[in-house]
């Protein structure tokens, strides 16, 4: 345990412990020379006492420091101070792929492929530099806050000796290749096997092999066939399943030859999920690996049966405070879709509000115009009535002797004098309670009732006397009978 505040190499100030791995404790630190935050891994005491391991650790750490790739957690420095062997690395703010899988249960095929492509790109860069990771697992894959996938812990697993394989295997046995489980030679194809197991876990939410001890899990890697992912997830794309099965072949010759071929198929699966393009070399012999009794004893001796694998004990040293930033993560990048939909929804709401206000204003204006039109019609009828009354008064003034002015059908006014015969007719009509009236321009039943009865509502009397229906069309020049009041 390194105390907070200690300065390593006269440059790296230890600020706080942020995690612990199988072979090192992880601290958040500050590079006082470049004024930036870094992650500092300090080897645990049991490894510091193994000179052979320390020498290989420093050699591999220096090799990893030469890896400059956006999908790799960069190693800045390695050193020793007061018996403490440390490695200074890029501090990535984010969560591990393991945490992301545990949160979501299982990932969509697009997420799996996108993460896998970035992960393989970083591991491929290491293979190009002749560095084999040997400890690939979701705990060693970091998803940064901006959605970048980064692989960490290059070189440490490769520096492990036979004396330390037990402790290292406890953190990795679920992802270890058959040749690693047997203690044999491991190369780039061993990393490809571990990638396949990681893909399997992303697709199904679980590892293919589990057990009560590290030995039992290692034996399953050697002897048992992997359950096809489609049996657990029926809707998994065919091409993705074939990629996983090819990566996890027990015979390394049947796996992908290199990362380039694997990335090529992953990209193909992205555009053709159900395509049958993954080629797996036929196997004449059974996949089951025959193990001699001596080899079985060696495996048992290599793994510590008393120590059970605890996946949750491994923390790559990255703060969990950023977990919530990755709920919307899609395909290696945080999805911007919710933000875009939110903006579009807000714009639509503003538009609808504006449209509603505009339509309400227009409706009020239309209602006001209707009211004004109705008022104008009433005023027009009143003016017409007053005009007729004035005309009658004028006619009376012009013809005091009883002559009256009538308007003919063609609009001409004629003056007539009441004769004795007409007086008799008028008298006869009057005696019957009726009198004739020649309709003039602008007359309506209402205006005539107003004229003769002083009340427009009495117009029904005129309609009944002349056998007219409501709304009947009368023309100037028509002669109507007007009932007495």
Tell me the catalytic residues: 135
Left if phi > 0, otherwise alpha if psi is -120 to 50, otherwise beta: which for 373? alpha
Of the candidates 190, 186, 202, 188, the residue with the CA atom closest to the CA atom of residue 149: 202
Strands (E), 247-347: 329-330, 333-334
Name the packing angle between helices 109-128 and 259-271 (round to 10°).
Answer: 160
3 state DSSP class of 406: strand
The runs of H, that is alpha helices, within 399-479 are 420-431, 445-453, 459-465
Q: How many CB atoms lie within 10 A of CB 73?
A: 24
Tokens of 423: 């007086």
Q: Locate tokens 């697992």: which residue?
A: 137
Sign of CA dihedral 154, 159, 164, 165: positive
Task: Tell me how far apart the alpha carbons of residues 432 and 426 are, in angstroms, rounded to a whole number.
Answer: 10
3 state DSSP class of 68: coil
Tokens of 152: 């960490």
Task: Tell me how far apart the alpha carbons of residues 393 and 374 are, in angstroms, rounded to a whole number.
Answer: 29
Task: Tell me how far apart the alpha carbons of residues 113 and 224 are, in angstroms, rounded to a whole number.
Answer: 26
Tokens of 269: 């699966």
Q: How many CB atoms lie within 10 A of CB 348?
A: 10
Task: Tell me how far apart the alpha carbons of residues 42 and 57 are, in angstroms, rounded to a whole number.
Answer: 11
Task: Tell me how far apart the alpha carbons of residues 160 and 67 are, in angstroms, rounded to a whole number.
Answer: 20
> Can you give 185-228 as a three-state secondary structure string?
CCCHHHHHHHHHHHHHHHHHCCCCCCCCCHHHHHHHHHHCCCCC
Phi, psi (rounded to 5 degrees) for 295: -65, -40
Of the candidates 2, 290, 259, 7, the residue with the CA atom closest to the CA atom of residue 121: 259
What are the CA-CA distances from residue 38 to residues 4, 18, 83, 116, 268 (Å)?
Answer: 14, 12, 21, 26, 37
């Amino acid at each position: 345990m390194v105390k907070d505040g200690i300065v390593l190499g006269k440059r790296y100030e230890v600020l706080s412990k942020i995690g612990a791995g199988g072979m090192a404790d992880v601290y958040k630190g500050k590079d006082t020379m470049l004024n930036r935050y870094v992650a500092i891994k300090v080897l645990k005491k049991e490894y510091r006492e193994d000179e052979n391991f320390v020498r290989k650790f420093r050699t591999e750490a220096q090799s990893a420091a030469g890896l400059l790739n956006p999908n790799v957690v960069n190693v800045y420095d390695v050193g020793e101070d007061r018996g403490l062997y440390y490695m200074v690395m890029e501090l990535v703010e984010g969560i591990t792929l393991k945490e992301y899988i545990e949160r979501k249960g299982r990932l969509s095929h697009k997420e799996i492929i996108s993460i896998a492509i970035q992960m393989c790109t970083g591991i491929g860069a290491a293979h190009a530099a002749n560095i084999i990771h040997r400890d690939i697992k979701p705990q060693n894959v970091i998803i940064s806050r901006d959605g970048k996938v980064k692989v960490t812990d290059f070189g440490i697993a490769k520096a492990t000796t036979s004396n330390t394989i037990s402790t290292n295997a406890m953190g990795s046995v679920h992802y270890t290749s058959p040749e690693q489980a047997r203690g044999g030679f491991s190369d780039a194809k061993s990393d490809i096997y571990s990638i396949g197991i990681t893909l399997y876990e992303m697709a199904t939410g679980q590892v293919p092999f589990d057990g009560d001890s590290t030995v039992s899990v290692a034996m399953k890697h050697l002897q048992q066939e992997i359950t096809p992912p489609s049996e657990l997830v029926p809707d998994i794309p065919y091409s993705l399943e074939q990629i996983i099965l090819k990566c996890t072949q027990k015979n390394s010759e049947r796996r992908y030859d290199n990362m380039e071929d694997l990335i090529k198929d992953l990209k193909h699966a992205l555009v053709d999920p159900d395509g049958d393009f993954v080629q797996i070399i036929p196997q004449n012999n059974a996949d089951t690996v025959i193990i001699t009794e001596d080899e079985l004893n060696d495996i048992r001796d290599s793994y510590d049966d008393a120590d059970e694998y605890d996946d949750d004990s491994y923390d790559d040293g990255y703060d969990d405070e950023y977990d919530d930033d990755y709920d919307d993560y899609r395909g290696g990048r945080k999805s911007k879709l919710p933000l875009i939909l939110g903006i579009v929804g807000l714009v639509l709401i503003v538009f609808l509000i504006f449209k509603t206000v505009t339509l309400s204003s227009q409706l009020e204006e239309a209602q006001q115009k209707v009211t004004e039109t109705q008022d104008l019609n009433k005023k027009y009828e009143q003016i017409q009535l007053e005009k007729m009354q004035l005309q009658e008064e004028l006619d009376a003034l012009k013809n005091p002797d009883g002559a009256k002015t009538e308007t003919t059908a063609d609009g001409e006014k004629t003056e007539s004098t009441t004769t004795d015969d007409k007086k008799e007719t008028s008298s006869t009509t009057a005696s019957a309670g009726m009198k004739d009236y020649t309709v003039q321009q602008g007359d309506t039943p209402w205006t005539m009732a107003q004229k003769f009865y002083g009340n427009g509502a009495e117009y029904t009397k005129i309609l009944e006397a002349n056998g007219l229906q409501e709304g009947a069309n009368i023309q100037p020049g028509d002669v109507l009978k007007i009932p007495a009041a």
